[in-house]
Amino acid sequence: MQYRVLRTVVDGEQSPAGDIPANTYHLVHYPQDNLIAWTDARFEVCPLDIQEQLEIAHCPGIGPILRKLESTSDDISVEALADLCGAGAYDVYRYFHDHRDHDPRSPADRSKELGHLSKDLAVRVATELLNWRVTPQSREIGEAHYMISEGLDVALTVNAICAPRWIAVNSTISRDGIHNLAPYSCSQFIAYKEPVYTFGAQGYNEERGWQDTVQNILDTKNFVVNLATYNWREQMNKTAISAPPWFDEFEYAGLTKGNSSTGWPPFVVESPVHMYCEFLDVTELPAAAPDRKNIEVRGKIVRTDILRSVVRQDGSVDTLKLDPIERLGGPTGYVRVAKGDEFHMVRPRWPDDAEEQKP
pLDDT of residue 113: 72
Mean of the per-residue pLDDT values for the chain? 81
| Mean pLDDT (whole number) for 13-39 | 68
pLDDT in tens, 178-205: 999 999 999 999 988 899 999 998 766 6
Range of weakest confidence among 17-31, 36-50, 116-130: 17-31
Higher-confidence residue: 205 or 219? 219
pLDDT of residue 146: 57
Q: At residue 14, does pLDDT exceed 50?
A: no
Q: At residue 143, does pLDDT exceed 60?
A: no
> What radius of gyration do the chain's Cα atoms show?
24
Q: At residue 24, does pLDDT exceed 70?
A: yes
336 close to 323: Cβ distance less than 8 angstroms: yes
How many angstroms separate the CA atoms of 40 and 47, rounded? 10
How many angstroms separate the CA atoms of 235 and 228, rounded? 9
18 pLDDT band, cuts 50/70/90, is very low
pLDDT of residue 286: 80
Where do runs of H (alpha helix) occur along the chain?
A: 48-58, 62-70, 78-84, 89-98, 119-129, 151-161, 212-220, 233-238, 249-253
The share of the chain scoring above pLDDT 70, in percent, equals 79
264 close to 276: Cβ distance less than 8 angstroms: yes
In the chain, the domains with their CATH numbers are 4-139 (no CATH), 165-336 (2.30.110.10)
The distance of Cα 10 from the centroid of its chain, to the nearest Å, equals 26
pLDDT of residue 135: 43
224 close to 260: Cβ distance less than 8 angstroms: yes
Q: Are strands 139-142 and 145-147 parallel, antiparallel or unpaired?
A: antiparallel
Please, which residues bridge with residue 294 across strands? 285
| Mean pLDDT (whole number) for 121-145 | 59
